[in-house]
Structure 1
């Protein structure tokens, strides 16, 4: 009787182990959706009124410029790879005031148009190696060029994990605090997902997925974790056609594209009655 029992016991262990592996594999792909907000630094704004750039504090600086931008951030992951996508809150904004002319009832209120960004930018993550790849796509005339810069995910020291917990997007999270950008951030992380990630790259923990971040100038909060989303690994890995550059070179390319785009918009909208900001 001992031999059949031993065989049955081993078989049960194999079945249990296979079931756990299948469950873990099912959780290794999916999508996390975050709602986010970030305070705007007025010194980084470029406001043009009647063709002239005005700075914060100037009498001509618009009083209704928002000081916070909201946006969505989505992480799609499959296996050891992931891709971040940002939606909303970016791009160059152009504000125009239309003068109706004599007898036309005066000028209409300012109208704001989002012209988008002069480039496309995607961030890919190697979750196992804790590295990030930024891919910048520039279009000029009919030519499209891609550049990529790779960098390790920097680690911020001084984490303090507490016993306080709460549910976020259906997952139990523990509260942690960490010094970052000259203040103390509050981070809520869960270990119920089989990888490590944070929507703020520098606040990636040693283990766990950050589902909420609270700072004085920025906040992130996960609204949904979808483990049934059909995410293919090929869609969350960078392509091989991009030209390899350094982080500094990528920043120069990005800044030049913004400056050229801003100048073109000023030429188009910078006449009397027009204005823009980036």
Structure 2
């Protein structure tokens, strides 16, 4: 009788441990996306002979890349998550002299690279339970640190269309859908086997499910790995000392910070030797 009672107790304890482990694993982890985006050269600036020019214009050098590749991760724990990107935290500006060529001086052109720290650090957190995006921006100027926070609902695609096609991505069964964003048609593959809703392109968040692959003619994301692992809850929580402001106020602060940054870049740009 005692042996049977002990066996039942042990079985109950093991079942409880297994349930707890499954709950912890299912509630936290990391999704790694490999991304690609075509460069919008109309938004870029270069300096040639002290003058700002647009890449692709008549005075701009040739050989600039057409696309950028990057890695983006979603780290999640419970009802909160955080996006992490591998994009560089500093910015580079190239100044050219002579004929505006780079990597040689066949026409007397010379170039020099230099780097300055970006004017702010921006992070994105997600309130998965309430389907909110939480943007946090930290600005450090003259050793003074200011942290701002704004919230906005996660949008849903207005013309989401499901199909009956499925395929496996990173071990998960995904359903195919299409939607339009900024006049572009996107092909979307999403799974409902994860316990939350998310898309690496916020404006194309599905009604339910996690997007593991999404692509258009100008950008793409594909989940290369999904790891269910313990993630400390405080690592995906926005900082408690952030000042709450509206999205419009944050955009105004961001624009002013970028304008100040460009002004400093121009004034600190090293002088180019001339032949």
Q: Which residue of 2 aligns with 1:161?
A: 162
Query: Would the aligned equivalents of 1:70 and 1:89 in 2 still touch at CA under 8 Å?
Result: no
- CA drift at 1:96: 4.3
Tell me the distance in 1 between the aligned counterparts of 2:109 and 2:51: 21
TM-score (norm 2): 0.84
Question: How many residues are matched?
Answer: 258
Q: Which residue of 1 aligns with 2:125?
A: 124
- For the structure 1 residues 273 and 147, does the alpha-carbon distance in structure 2 shift closer, same or farther, using more than 3 Å as the test? farther
- CA drift at 1:19: 5.2
Q: Which residue of 2 aligns with 1:236?
A: 236
Q: Which residue of 1 aligns with 2:268?
A: 268
Tell me the distance in 1 between the aligned counterparts of 2:128 and 2:77: 10
Tell me the distance in 2 between the aligned counterparts of 1:44 and 1:189: 31
TM-score (norm 1): 0.83
Tell me the distance in 1 between the aligned counterparts of 2:58 and 2:153: 45
1:73 and 2:106 aligned: no
Q: Which residue of 1 aligns with 2:255?
A: 255
Tell me the distance in 1 between the aligned counterparts of 2:116 and 2:73: 22
**Once superposed, what is the RMSD of the aligned Cα atoms?**
2.8
Which digits, 9 at most, give the CA deviation of each residue in 1:213-233, with x for residues without a partner?
A: 1011111111111112x3111
- For the structure 1 residues 198 and 14, does the alpha-carbon distance in structure 2 shift closer, same or farther, using more than 3 Å as the test? farther
Q: Which residue of 1 aligns with 2:34?
A: 35
Query: Would the aligned equivalents of 1:34 and 1:224 in 2 still touch at CA under 8 Å?
Result: yes
Gaps of 5+ in 1: 1-7, 100-104
Which digits, 9 at most, give the CA deviation of each residue in 1:19-41, with x for residues without a partner?
A: 56752432110111111111121
Query: Would the aligned equivalents of 2:123 and 2:135 in 1 still touch at CA under 8 Å?
Result: yes
Tell me the distance in 2 between the aligned counterparts of 1:42 and 1:270: 24
Query: Would the aligned equivalents of 1:71 and 1:89 in 2 still touch at CA under 8 Å?
Result: no
1:23 and 2:22 aligned: yes
